[in-house]
Structure 1
């Protein structure tokens, strides 16, 4: 019986993978963050100070993360309209010309998500942090869920930090439990003169 219990515990643990390579950096930056609402205009470079190490949409490119990717993009501009509850994001070239533009709705944490699946939005927390949360649960041969959360905040130095947290959990073939999560942090420097 004891061997069966040990085997069962090992089986449960085999489906668990957790990766967070920049956890120490996140723990140093997040408690000392600035409230993003302290300014209405920000400009950041599109490339991070140091690559986060992940292979995902938006890795190493702030313009791609914010859906304003352009070949010649050097900077990303964020213009907040707090009374109007919106955020205008632009990718700019080295001569400050607008290349692409996207508008996001700013929602309270308790607000319902927009009914239009194509609408872009951020949750603006009471602490002055931007969040996106996506979750998809699909039953098939297995029961499982995937999630992807992004946390955007201003560091103590005025740079833009973007943490991507994604994961999967479920039951393969309705028998074998599995869980995996990853977190990546990238810090994008403020643009010169910003």
Structure 2
């Protein structure tokens, strides 16, 4: 994702905002899971959960709120245009999105299955809404609508459909449909 931020054109940079968020989230999840000894896991709802996750449970809404505050401003058209012109601000946006993703990844294990479903569904809906707004308000981003439409179609077919399918399979396995 850092390569996309550095080398690609503004359209692809705008659409690759998920990269630092997902990589930060994976790192947060990995840090929590790898630094918890095996004897510090308990079974909750047929799923192994670390004791640290249970202790963080009350603070998860705060962590997710902070993560959203770190991520969302960089997706606004006015700030995005300024950040593409100022390299240090662009680096700050990448780091901010990465840290926001880390907070979500670190706290995601503390959520129940239903809360995970709700959070993921809201994220999926937010991504889809962002793509729609991006196309409709492409003139705010100073990008021709046809150019952005090509990139959005590629993103939907290459990432969003497989992501939705993986999400559905996760739900089906969790509720024993598959």
- Establish whether TM, by shorter chain, passes 0.5: no
Question: Which of structures 1 and 2 has the bigger CA Rg?
Answer: 1
RCO comparison, higher one (Cα < 8 Å, 6+)? 2
Q: TM-score scaled to structure 2, two decimals? A: 0.22
Q: TM-score scaled to structure 1, two decimals? A: 0.21
Higher share of residues assigned helix:
2
